[in-house]
Amino acid sequence: MVAPAAAHHVRDATGRTVEVRDTARIVAIGSSVTEILFALGVGERVVAVDQTSTYPAAARKLPNVGYSRTLAPEGVLSVGPSLIIAIEGAGPREALEVLEHSSVPVVIVPDGHSAEGVIRKIEMVAAAVGIPRKGADLAAEVRADFTQLAREVGTLRRHPKAVFVLSAAGGNVVVGGSGTGADAMFRLAAIDNAMAAVKGYKPAGDEVAMAAEPEAVVVMSGGGQPLPADLIFSLPAFKGTPAAKDKKLITLPGSYLLGFGPRTPQAARDLA
C-alpha cells in the first residue's frame, strides 16, 4: 500500500495548476486513468469510477458515476471524493466547471493516442497522486514494452489492411478514419487503415467500404452485444471483401483497444 502524499501542486492538461491536499478518496474518470491508478498501487484509494472503467476487475465493484462525457456533478460529488482525476474530453464542460469550482481538486489528464501519450498520462496521474517516482517506474516499464512492440512489428514482411467499425446500426457502417484512436492503434500494430481517407469517425458508404478491400474488420466488445461475424459480413459494405471471404473479425474490449493505458502494447499485439 502506498501512503497518501502530502499537499502538492500539479499542472494538468488544461494548463491549470491544481493544489492537491488529500489523495485518500479518488474518483477516476476514464478507463486509462483507473487502470493507471491500480497499476501504481493506489487502487484502494479509488472510491468511484466512470462506466468505461472495467479493468481491473476490482474497478467493476466500485460505485459508478456514469459515462465520462455525460457526467452529473452531484453524482460525482455524492461519493465524497478528495480528488477527481479525469481524462481529457470528459464532460460536459458545464459539469466540469461545477466540479472545478467545488472544494474538490480536479486534475485533467491528457489523452494522447501514441506511446508518448500513454507515458505522459502515466506521469500526470502519478503526479496528481503525489507519487512521481512510482510513476517514473511504471512509465519506464510501459516504454520498454512499446519499444519491444516496435521491434516485433518491425519484423513483419507486410502490413495487413483492416477497418475499424464503431457501429453498424441499421446497416449503416460508421468507421474509424485518420486522426482517431483506432487509426493510432492500427499504426502501433503495423496495420494499414483501409479507411485512412476518411477523417474521424464517419459513416462509410457501401461502395467506399467495399472498394477499400479490408482483410480484417475490427470491432469492440463491452457496453452491449459485440457485433457478430455473420452480421458484419452480411452487410453490403463488406460482402465480397477479403475479410468476408476469410471471416476475419477481431473483437476486443473497447477500453482495452482504445483506452491508451499500460496495456496498450499488448492490445496492439492482439491486433497484429
What is the per-residue pLDDT across 42-85, written as a single tens digit (0 to 9) for each? 999 999 999 999 999 999 999 999 999 999 999 999 999 999 99
Confidence of residue 227 (pLDDT cuts 50, 70, 90): confident
Confidence of residue 224 (pLDDT cuts 50, 70, 90): low
User: pLDDT, tens digit, for every residue of 188-218?
Assistant: 999 999 999 999 999 999 999 999 999 999 9
Q: What is the DSSP letter of 80?
A: -
Domain spans of the chain?
Answer: 8-148, 161-271
Write b or e for each residue in 137-162: b if 16 or more Cβ atoms lie within 10 A of its Cβ, otherwise e: ebbeebbebbeebeeebeeeeebbbb
The CA distances from residue 78 to 42, 64, 85, 88, in Å, are 21, 11, 16, 22
User: Residue 134: its pLDDT value, please?
Assistant: 98
| HSE (side-chain half, CA atoms, 13 Å) at 15 | 0
Residues 38 and 90: their CA atoms lie apart, in Å, by 20
Q: Return the CATH fold of 161-271.
A: Rossmann fold (3.40.50)
- The grid coordinates listed for 126 are 502519478
Confidence of residue 228 (pLDDT cuts 50, 70, 90): confident
Q: Same CATH fold, 161-271 and 8-148? A: yes
- The grid coordinates listed for 139 are 512509465
Domain 8-148 class, CATH top level:
alpha beta
Instruction: Compute the CA torsion angle 15, 71, 51, 89 (nearest 10 deg).
Output: -30
Phi/psi for 251 (5° steps) reads: -120, 120
Is 4's pLDDT higher than 70? Answer: no
